[in-house]
Structures are given as C-alpha cells and as structure tokens.
Chains A and B, each alone.
Chain A
Amino acid sequence: DVKVTQSSRYLVKRTGEKVFLECVQDMDHENMFWYRQDPGLGLRLIYFSYDVKMKEKGDIPEGYSVSREKKERFSLILESASTNQTSMYLCASRGASELQPQHFGDGTRLSIL
C-alpha cells in the first residue's frame, strides 16, 4: 500500500513565522502535490512537482514556496505566515501516468494566530 505521511496533524503558528510542512511518500512516485482545503472551496492546488528539484505553480501559489531535494520528500513553506493561511493542507503523490490515482496524506490542520 502507498503511504503518504505528513509530519504533523495539527500545527499552531504565529503571524510572520516561517512554517514548514513536510510530506514523505514511500512508493517512488514522480509526482507530488500540495493542496489546501477550505470549507465551500474544495481542494485547491498550491504547487506540484514532477521530479526532483522541479516544481510548478498551481492555482494559488502566492505566499508559498516548495522544495523537493529528494524524490520521496516534498516540503511546503509559508515564508511569512498570515492568518488567511489558516487551513487544512493535504499532500498527495502519484506515479508517472495521469491515469493513475493520487494518494493522499491525512492532512495537516494549520492555524495561524
């Protein structure tokens, strides 16, 4: 079974802090994704990566950056956290083909105070 592990289930940070969310997958997947999920808006893509050191902006990249130094790990960085970044963050991975399903982590509920 594919395992996608997010480092924290719950996280509380303060405005202005630099925040790191970590995601690790164990299936040698090429593609990894970061989403945020807000009530009424569904999942929205922040960034994705199709290979080590490669990244592409999603629909809402502003205020975020990502890092993929190793194939199994994809990090989401909030450079200077703001209250409007309070949300549920979900990481996913997928193999090379678009026809394969995405596998999701359990999510990190992030609160910015």
Chain B
Amino acid sequence: KNEVEQSPQNLTAQEGEFITINCSYSVGISALHWLQQHPGGGIVSLFMLSSGKKKHGRLIATINIQEKHSSLHITASHPRDSAVYICAARRPARQLTFGSGTQLTVLP
C-alpha cells in the first residue's frame, strides 16, 4: 500500500463546477503539500499545510490530522484549471512522499 493515496485518478468536470480531490496518507506527517503540474511538465507548489485550511483565490486546501486526510477544492472551475494535481506528505526528518496524481480536465 502506498503511503500517500489520491482519489480520483481522473476527473472530468464542466466549467463552473465545484471540484474536490482527496488525499489520504498512512503515516504521521509534519506537513502536506499540494502541487499542480501543467501539460509540458512544470510543477508549481500550491499549498503547504499542517493543520486547518488554506485558501488562495479559487483554491482551498483542508487537512484533518486525526483522519490522515486532506482535500483540495476548486470553486467555479475553469478550463485553465486542467492539470495534474499532486499531494505530497512530509514525514519528520524525511523527504517528501508523493501521491500518483489526479488528472483534472475541465470542459468549457
């Protein structure tokens, strides 16, 4: 079993829909990262959180430490949000462990 599991693997939505991507992890962590990878490869860090919730524009990330679960939400989705979204867990004194990613396609 992978230490970091994402769901769904693939997600297709219509423009304007509310989107949720889930990330579960099986180990104790010090932080959870959400990353975005656009076609072509470049990866951008979206959030790093260790508790509660963070918001940036239409993106919201939440984490529940007790349940070892994090979600990334996108409100009012747009075709330019189409990308691979990756969660990564940081264990204390260890390097990041990455989920396999969620391919999001937002249709106009």
A binding-site residues for B, Cβ under 8 Å: 9, 33, 40-45, 48, 58, 88, 90, 92, 98-99, 101-107, 109
Task: Determine whether the beta carbon of B99 is less than 8 Å from that of A102.
Answer: no
Residues of B within 8 A of A42 (CB): 4, 86, 98-101
Interface residue tally of chain B, by bracket? 20 to 34
Task: Determine whether the beta carbon of B95 is less than 8 Å from that of A48.
Answer: yes
Q: A9, A43, A48, A98: which contacts B30 (Cβ < 8 A)?
A: A98
Residues of B within 8 A of A101 (CB): 33, 45, 48
Task: Determine whether the beta carbon of B86 is less than 8 Å from that of A102.
Answer: no
Total A-B contacts with CB atoms under 8 angstroms apart: 45
Task: Determine whether the beta carbon of B44 is less than 8 Å from that of A43.
Answer: no
Residues of A within 8 A of B44 (CB): 104
Question: What CA separation (Å) do A99 and B95 show in the bound complex?
Answer: 12
Does B40 lie at the interface of the complex (its beta carbon under 8 Å from any beta carbon of A)? Answer: yes
Question: What CA separation (Å) do A48 and B94 show in the bound complex?
Answer: 12
Residues of B within 8 A of A102 (CB): 45, 96
Task: Determine whether the beta carbon of B100 is less than 8 Å from that of A58.
Answer: no
Task: Determine whether the beta carbon of B43 is less than 8 Å from that of A90.
Answer: yes
Return B96 CB to nearest CB of chain A, in Å: 7
Task: Determine whether the beta carbon of B95 is less than 8 Å from that of A106.
Answer: no
Task: Determine whether the beta carbon of A40 is less than 8 Å from that of B33.
Answer: no
Question: What CA separation (Å) do A41 and B4 show in the bound complex?
Answer: 11
Task: Determine whether the beta carbon of B41 is less than 8 Å from that of A99.
Answer: no
Residues of A within 8 A of B86 (CB): 42-43
Question: What CA separation (Å) do A106 and B45 show in the bound complex?
Answer: 13
Task: Determine whether the beta carbon of A90 is less than 8 Å from that of B45.
Answer: no
